[in-house]
Structure 1
Amino acid sequence: MKSKTRITVLNHILALNLDVNIWSARKKLTPYDFGETQLPPEELASLGSKRVCNPEDLRIFGTLKSRAFNMLDRHGVRFLGGWAIPEKVAEEITNELVAIQKEFFAAKEEFLSRYDQAVQDWIRLHPGWEKLIGSSTVSAEYVRSRIGFKWQFFKLAAPDKNSVKKGLKEEVNNLGFTLFDEIAKAATDTWNRCYAGKVKVSHKALSPLRSIHDKLNGLSFVDPRVLPITDLLQTAFEKIPSRGFIRNENLLMLQGVVSLLREPALLVENAQQILDGSSAEDLLENLVAAPQQPIAEDIPENPKQQTTAQAATQQIDSHGLW
C-alpha cells in the first residue's frame, strides 16, 4: 500500500481570515431623488450613489484596516483569500490584532456617539440638498451593524483523497512564488524610498530590509530557496558598520541586494546557487562588481498569474515540502 502524500507546509502554518467591515456612508441614487427631471433609460446609463455623511469622519477605520493588513503582510503571505501565518508567531499576531481592534472599536463608539450631529453637519455643508441627503439617512444602530473588526485562525489539513486534495495542494505550491512576488513589491518600495539615486544612506534604510529578512525567516519552510536569501541578507547586514552613514562599497552592496530582491526569477536563481554550494559572501561580491541591470517595474497584482517567479519555482524540486 502506498504511503499518503503529505503537504508538510501545512504543519507550520495557520490560515488567517481578517474580516473588517466599514460603513460606506453611501446610498444609491434613485430617479425619485431628481423629482421631475428627465433621466436616461437604465440601459443607457445608471445612477451612482450619494454620500450621507462626511467621508472624513470614517477615515480612521480605513487607516486601522490598512495598519492591520500591513502588519499581516509583514509576517505572512497571502493565501486562500487571507494569509498563511507561521504558527510560531500566531500569538504575537493576535496581540497586535487585539490592539488594533481596540482602537477600531474605540473609534466606532466615538463616531456613533456623534453620528446624528455628523449627519446634520454634512447637511449644513450642502445647502439646497437637504432633502436629497435627509431622505437617505439611517439610524445609528444600523451603522453600528455595518462597522466591524474580527478575525479567525484555521488549522488546515489535506484531505485523504488525492482528487479532493488537488486544489489545496496547488494553493500550497503557489506559496513560494507568491512570497517571492510579495518580497519583490516590498523591495521595489524600499528602493524607491531609500536607495534610488542615493550616494549615502543612514541606518534607517536598513529597517525595511530587516522587515523583509524577518518575513522570509518566518516563512522559510514554504520554499527551499527562502533560507539562502535570509542568509544572504544576514551576511549583508553583518558587513555594515554599526555607526555612521552607509556609503561607497557598502551602499553599492545594499543597492545590489535590493535590486536582486526586486527580481523574483533572479532571486530564485541566486538562492539556488547557494543551495548548490556557492557562498553568500561570493554572491555579495558579485553584486558589488556587477553593473546595474534594468529592473522591471510592473509586478502582477494577482498571484494566480504566471510570473517569472512561478515559472522558476515550477522548474525546481519541492525538496519534500509539498
Structure 2
Amino acid sequence: MTITTNIKVLKCLMAIRLDVNIWSARKKLIPSDFGATELPPEKLASLGSKKICNPKELCIFGTLKSRAISLLDKNGVRFLGGWALPEQKVEEIQNTLLEIAADFNDAKELFLNRYDESVQEWIRNNPGWESLIASSAVSSDYVRSRLDFNWQMFKIMPPSKKNEAVSSGLQGEVENLGVTLFGEVAKIATDSWHNSFAGKDNVTRKALAPLRSVHRKLSGLSFIEPRVSPVITLLETAFSKIPAKGRIRGANLIMLQGLLCLLRDPSALVEHGQKIIEGNTPDKVLQNLLSNQDTAHGPQVESASFANEQIDDLPESVAIPAQPAPLNSLGLW
C-alpha cells in the first residue's frame, strides 16, 4: 500500500538541526611518539590515537547529547539530516533543549575548572608514558572551543512551481515522511518486543512505556499521513483494556504482543489503518490480533531508545470508540 506525504504538511512542521560538539580527549599518534622504534610504512598501517585525559570524565556530554536526540526522536520524525517537529510542540521542545543546554554548559565549566588537574592525574595513572601525554596536552581554551551544544530551528518553504528542478529533491524528502514515521514506529516496537515481551507470560505495566511513546509521537504527527490517526485510536483502545493495577497477563498480554507484531510491520500497520478508515472498529482489529497473534515471527528491524519513557502521560482509562474518530487532517488531505 502506497504511503505518500503531501508537501503541504510543511506548513505544520518546523525543522531542527542538532549541533553538538564533544571533545574526544584524543590526539593522533605520530612516529616520533615511539622514538627509535621502527614502524611499518604508512601504506601498510596507520597509527591510532592517544588519550590526553581520562575519557570517562567526558561521558556526561555524550549522555546529554543522547537526551537531546531522544527528545527529538520521541516528538519528531527524521528529516533532512535533522528532525521535522509538529509546530504546536516547538515551544515545549525548545524549553527542554534549553534545560539540556544549561546542564551541558554547567558540566563544561566543571570539567574545564579541573582540566589541568585531570591531565596531571592521567599522567600519574599511566607511569612510563608521562612524556607522551604531557607533550600532547592542549590548553583549556582549546578544549572550551571543542565543547558546544547548539541547535537551529527553521521553517522550510517549498520553492515556486516555476522551479521544478529545485523543488524535486525536497518533494521527495517530504513524500517519504510517512514511510519514515511508520519505520520509526517499527523500530520502537521491535525494541520493546525484544526487551519486554518476547517469551514472557506476564509483564509489568512498565512494559507499556514504549507504546506510550509511540502514542505520543503519532499524536503530534497525525497530519503527516491519513492512516496515522486510526493507529492512534487503536493504541488508545488497547490501553483502555489494560487493568489499572497489577501485572499484565493472559488475554491482555496476548493482545499487546499481537499489537506489537503489527506495529513492527509498517505495511501491515498501514493496511489495518486503512481498514479502520473504511469502517472496521479498533476493537475488532484487536480481537483479530488476539485470535491470530503469532509471536514466533516478525520483521527484523533496528532498535530505538524509548525504553525509559515515563508512562504517566496518558490517562489509565481511555474510552473505547464505537466507531473511528473523524480524522483531523488540518486541511492537508
Regarding TM over 0.5, the answer is: yes
Give the Cα–Cα distance (whole angstroms) in 1 for the partners of residues 302 and 137 of structure 2. 42
> Displacement, 1:207?
2.1
Give the Cα–Cα distance (whole angstroms) in 2 for the partners of residues 125 and 246 of structure 1. 51
- Tell me the residue number matched to 1:298: 301
- Runs of 4+ in structure 1 deviating by more than 4 angstroms, as ranges, are none
Q: Which amino acid aligns with 1:288?
A: L
| Aligned pairs for 1:118-267 within 5 A | 118-160=118-160, 161-267=163-269
Give the Cα–Cα distance (whole angstroms) in 2 for the partners of residues 124 and 53 of structure 1. 11
> Displacement, 1:205?
1.9
Pair 122,300 (structure 1): closer, same or farther in 2 beyond 3 Å = closer
Q: Which amino acid aligns with 1:274?
A: I
- Tell me the residue number matched to 1:312: none
> Displacement, 1:40?
1.1
Q: Which amino acid aligns with 1:46?
A: S
Q: Deviations over 1:55-103 (max 9, x none)?
A: 0010000011111111110001111111001000001001111111111
Shifted more, 28-37 versus 238-247: the winner is: 238-247
Q: Deviations over 1:173-217 (max 9, x none)?
A: 111111111111111111122222222222222222111101011
> Are the equivalent residues in 1 in contact too, given 2:186–2:301 (CA < 8 A)?
no
RMSD: 1.9
- Partner-residue secondary structure (3-state), 1:158: coil
> Displacement, 1:226?
0.9
Gaps of 5+ in 1: 1-5, 302-317
- Partner-residue secondary structure (3-state), 1:210: helix
Shifted more, 285-294 versus 104-113: the winner is: 285-294
Give the Cα–Cα distance (whole angstroms) in 2 for the partners of residues 52 and 284 of structure 1. 57
> Are the equivalent residues in 1 in contact too, given 2:190–2:303 (CA < 8 A)?
no
- Partner-residue secondary structure (3-state), 2:176: helix
Give the Cα–Cα distance (whole angstroms) in 1 for the partners of residues 51 and 9 of structure 2. 46
- Tell me the residue number matched to 1:304: none
TM-score (norm 1): 0.90
Give the Cα–Cα distance (whole angstroms) in 2 for the partners of residues 235 and 298 of structure 1. 26
Q: Which amino acid aligns with 1:296?
A: P
Q: Could you tell me the percent identity over the aligned residues?
A: 58
Give the Cα–Cα distance (whole angstroms) in 1 for the partners of residues 235 and 164 of structure 2. 38
Q: Which amino acid aligns with 1:112?
A: L
> Displacement, 1:291?
3.7
- Partner-residue secondary structure (3-state), 1:16: strand
- Partner-residue secondary structure (3-state), 1:18: strand
Give the Cα–Cα distance (whole angstroms) in 1 for the partners of residues 142 and 121 of structure 2. 19
Q: Which amino acid aligns with 1:226?
A: V
Q: Which amino acid aligns with 2:223?
A: F
Q: Deviations over 1:101-129 (max 9, x none)?
A: 11111000000000000001011111111
> Are the equivalent residues in 1 in contact too, given 2:188–2:303 (CA < 8 A)?
no
